[in-house]
Amino acid sequence: MKETYKSKAEFFKNSLRYTRSKTGLVLAFAFIVLNAVTTFAQNGYTCATAIELSTVTSPVSGTTVGAGNENIPTCNNWGTAPDVYYSISVPLGYKLVIGPSATGYDSIYSLFYGTCDSQTGIACVDTERENTTWENTTGSTQTVYFVMDGWGATNEGTYTLAWTLTPPPICNVARNLNATLTSATLANLTGLHL
């Protein structure tokens, strides 16, 4: 049925209402798509999409249900259970304490620093609720990755991850201190002082 309008003003008013509803629909769709892209961009299902712990508050709850198997933990190198990645920047001299405070399945976790392609292992832990403490004495700030995983092939579930990042004391203790006696009263001291 063709609509008739009494005036041009009525025609434009109805046209504007139709255009606004289409625009609203397009904007809503764009928002949903952008929100999905942002959510996927940091879903933790791969090392590249690790959830940055500086963007959330400790403790954080999560699940490995629905995730893929991207990580092969050194303490379970035959396992194919799903895993979720987290990352945190640890400045030189800082101490990271991290681990699951609760799990609803037979879980394990891996901890390493570096990059996704060049990993230096810190720990692989097969105890459900055990923290790992790591102090950065590498000489520079490091990105540390925590990977929540499951034992074997089918273990997946919910967990709560807790962590603290503590700065070094104002007067930090020297690390890897070496002393070489040069005379009866002199010595050369070398080492890493943070």
Per-residue confidence of the chain (194 residues) as pLDDT tens digits?
A: 555 555 555 655 665 555 555 555 444 444 444 343 333 455 889 999 999 999 999 999 999 999 999 888 778 777 789 999 999 999 999 999 999 999 989 999 999 999 999 999 999 998 777 899 999 999 999 999 999 999 888 899 999 999 999 999 887 666 667 788 888 778 887 765 54
Q: Rounded to an integer, what distance in angstroms lies between the CA atom of residue 19 and that of residue 4?
A: 18
Q: What is the pTM of this model?
A: 0.69
Q: Give the amino acid at 160.
A: T
- C-alpha radius of gyration, the chain, whole number: 27
Q: What is the dihedral of CA 99, 42, 39, 149, to 10 degrees?
A: -40
**Cα–Cα–Cα angle for 183, 187, 193, nearest 5°?**
170
Residue 54 half-sphere exposure toward CB, CA atoms < 13 A: 9
Q: Which residues of 16-35 are buried (b: 16+ CB within 10 A; e: fewer)?
A: eeeeeeeeeeeeeeeeeeee
Provide φ and ψ at 35, rounded to 5°. -65, -40
Q: Rounded to an integer, what distance in angstroms lies between the CA atom of residue 54 and that of residue 107?
A: 24
